[in-house]
Amino acid sequence: MPAATIIPVTVNGEAREVPLGLALPDLLRLLDLDPEQPGIAVALNGVVVRRADWPGTPVEEGDEIEIITATQGG
Amino acid sequence: MAEITTPIQTAQDEDVLRIGPLELRSRVIVGTSRYPSPQVMLDAVEASGAELVTVSIRRVNLRETDGESLLGLLRSRGYHLLPNTAGCYTAREAVLTAGLAREALGTDLVKLEVIGDDETLYPDVEQLLKAAKQLVDDGFHVLAYANDDPITCRKLADLGCAAVMPLAAPIGSGMGLVNPYTLRIIRETLPDTPLIVDAGIGTASDAARALELGYDGVLLNTAISGAEHPALMAAAVRHAVEAGRLAYRAGRIPRRLYANASSPMDGRIDAG
């Protein structure tokens, strides 16, 4: 079996290497996040991806991904 | 004994603040930041009587993903959440942040903050107006943090912002209402727009003055979180806002330079 191809991406400003062929929920699980958890949102290359569209959104080489939540603020 | 509802109580109960889809009984909006602990924050928010609380939108900490979320704590207590765009310097950043907040929290409310620099945290008016237009077009209920500038505030209202929130003084400065005259002009210029004094409140009397000027409410964070006893200050602000609102509705007497005797002059004794 050939080794999985690894691609570089940026998640929350940090460079990471992830296997090719992940969809957004797979990426979240890889990062120890629960894709079912409410209160988080994802932007891919500066565009918000609606939660319903996560499963159909592949992670591609060079993608810039932001994963956010609400925290204390004024 | 039967429960007695006084006319004043009834008048207060019917005095609702409407912002976008919200109908608020409390005219205090509080931040959730800079508290020594989540419990101190929750106690202070409760003591303030606020129904609407601000939160910010930040990257998930990927190194530490457990722990009870702030969101869960606030939601379980029934507060309406007002996500802000604090830390955004451009319209583009603010619009993206608002879009993420809408997706994460399921709310169309946003406290729009587009700042120009780190020292003053003053709004960048050009970017603020641009972001406000975009967000209103995208169906957001925008509560816009603004300069205490009547023209900018009018433009924000004309764009369709749900509330306009001029600053009393720089964020976190606690300087109070440094220019009550421009705040008055803004109130008189925009009689039908919900107006909130946001930023600069230092203590309860500042909040009372804002309401006495006819502002619909106050938004504050540091005055409470930075107080020696946050819950006590929160309670003080709650009472000050109620007092200021009642005084505004009562209609204050005009100022005059010379005395005007309260007691009647007729029927004085004459020992002359």
Quote the pLDDT of residue B75: 87
CB contact under 8 Å between A33 and B105, yes or no, is no
Structure tokens given for A8: 């570089």
Element (DSSP H or E) covering residue B226: none
> Tokens 């106050």 appear where?
B218
Contacting A residues, span 14-43, partner chain B, CB-CB under 8 Å? 14, 31-33, 38-43
What digits encode the pLDDT tens for the residues B178-209?
999 999 999 999 999 999 999 999 999 999 99
CB contact under 8 Å between A39 and B104, yes or no, is yes
What digits encode the pLDDT tens for the residues B59-103?
988 877 655 578 888 988 999 999 999 999 999 999 999 999 999
Hey, is B139 helix, strand or coil? coil
pLDDT-derived band at B2, boundaries 50, 70, 90: low
Q: Label residue B149 exposed, middle or buried (CB < 10 Å: 0-12, 13-18, 19+).
A: middle
Hey, is B218 helix, strand or coil? strand
What digits encode the pLDDT tens for the residues A32-59?
999 988 889 999 999 999 999 999 999 9
Q: How far away is chain A from the Cα of B100, in angstroms, using its nearest Cα?
A: 6
Using a CB–CB cut-off of 8 Å, the residues of B that contact A are 31-35, 41, 54-60, 62, 65, 69-72, 81, 83-84, 86, 92, 96, 99-105, 171, 221-222
ipTM of the complex: 0.91
| Residues of B with catalytic roles | 111
**% of residues, chain B, pLDDT over 90:** 83
Say what the pTM is. Answer: 0.91
Whether B50 shows a pLDDT value over 80: the answer reads yes
Whether B261 shows a pLDDT value over 90: the answer reads no
User: Which of A12, A50, A51 comes nearest B60 by C-beta?
Assistant: A12
Residue B36 φ/ψ, nearest 5 degrees: -65, -30
CB contact under 8 Å between B62 and A67, yes or no, is yes
Helices B230-250 & B204-212 angle (0-180, nearest 10): 20
Q: Which amino acid is at A8?
A: P
Q: Which of B113, B149, B104, B147 is nearest to B132 (CA)?
A: B113
Quote the pLDDT of residue B227: 97
- From CA B164, how far away is CA B253, in angstroms rounded? 28
Element (DSSP H or E) covering residue B53: strand B52-59
Residues 6+ apart with CB under 8 A from A61: A7, A8, A9, A20
Structure tokens given for B48: 């303030």
CB contact under 8 Å between B65 and A13, yes or no, is no
What digits encode the pLDDT tens for the residues B200-251?
999 999 999 999 999 999 999 999 999 999 999 999 999 999 999 999 999 9
Whether B26 shows a pLDDT value over 80: the answer reads yes
Quote the pLDDT of residue B170: 94
User: Which of B71, B92, B221 comes nearest A39 by C-beta?
Assistant: B71
Q: How far away is chain A from the Cα of B30, in angstroms, using its nearest Cα?
A: 7
